[in-house]
Amino acid sequence: MDEEKKNRDAMAVYNTIIDNLNKRNWVFDRYDDSLMVRFTVGGDDLNISYRIIVEPECGLIVLYSNMPFSTKPENALDITLAIAAINNRLFDGSFEYDMNTSEIRFKMTNSYVGCKVFSELMDYMIDFSCAEIDDYNDKLYALNMGYVSIDDLLKEWTQ
């Protein structure tokens, strides 16, 4: 695909994201040069911050949401086990753990190559990820703080 078409398609997707956020009346920051938006929504327990990027070179929409806390280095193994168990339960998106920075994030991607991206896709990506993040961010926080054990979480998730 030629560069001009890639950029045109990426801009159309980016504008769909902007339109979707405007339709929701959400406050967001836009970075037109990098085709990225940032916004935060309130979850049941913790705020959920988003970064959505349109990647013209590979034709992807990439949604990231970093957890609003860093993990304690001594909890790295338990956090890793919890994330593996959580990802086993998800059918779309995944949690990632960076042991170097002690950060956890949720990531979801969708290809738009050869497709017209409708606002409903953005509804799905935002709403689904929000529900998944909201389900697990407090559990990961509690594990990190020592309020719950990895054994307890694994039992809960395997029942």
Look at residue 109 in the predicted model and tell me its pLDDT. Answer: 96
Sequence spans of domains, the chain: 3-158
- C-alpha distances (whole Å) from 51 to each of 6, 14, 85, 142, 158 are 21, 12, 24, 24, 31
pLDDT band for position 1 (cuts 50, 70, 90):
low
Label residue 43 by pLDDT band (50, 70, 90): confident
Q: What mean pLDDT comes out for the span 56-76?
A: 93
What is the percent of the chain where pLDDT is above 90?
Answer: 79
CATH number of 3-158: 3.30.1460.70
Which pTM was predicted?
A: 0.91
Q: How far is CA 134 from the centre of its chain?
A: 11
Average pLDDT, the chain: 92
